[in-house]
Amino acid sequence: MNNIQKIKVTNSTGVDSLKASILVELRLYDYKKKCEHEFEERITNYLKRNKELTLYVVVDHENIKKGIRTHAMHKFVKSVYPKDYRFDLPNMATTGDVDPKSKEQNKEEQDRVEAYYASEYAKLLSEVEKLNTIDRFSIEIKN
């Protein structure tokens, strides 16, 4: 009789964070080093030790989308503050000090964010397909 262990991944910003969150849930993550590159090896060893276990990972599509976009926004969209900007003053007093971005700059940043999102999401889907080939292990992205 197979035991099924369900793992819900709620927040992820890409392939590596998805792998890390799965390993953390299974208590296989080594905090002293990044072990995402050893993911398949760790999962197969875990499943060999637990011969009656089937792992079923459920990933929420909306949370993944939101996480990747938020990560991209933090990576690409940056405000440039002048050298003499006063961070100790309230926001209303300093709003006029920052140069507003032009529409072209905003569009360029949004295009970069969308391109990054599309590439990261495609990487995630291809990695999920690859990981679903592991015996007794499956990842499902739910809407």
Q: Which two tokens stand for residue 15?
A: 């392939």
What are the phi and psi torsion angles at 6 (to 5°)?
-95, 135
How many Cα atoms are found within 13 Å in the side-chain-facing hemisphere of 129? 6
Residue 84, both tokens: 């003499």
Helix (H), strand (E) at residue 127? helix 103-131
Decide if pLDDT at 66 tops 70: yes
Main-chain phi, psi angles of 57, to 5 degrees: -105, 130
Q: Which amino acid, 100?
A: P
Whole-angstrom CA distances from 35 to 15, 16, 29, 78 are 13, 9, 7, 30
Rounded distance, CA 42 to CA 53, Å?
A: 14
Looking at residue 122, its pLDDT comes to 94
Report pLDDT digits (tens) over 30-44: 888 888 889 999 999
How much is the pLDDT for 57? 94
- Over residues 67-120, the pLDDT tens digits come to 999 998 888 877 776 677 676 776 655 566 566 677 788 788 889 999 999 999
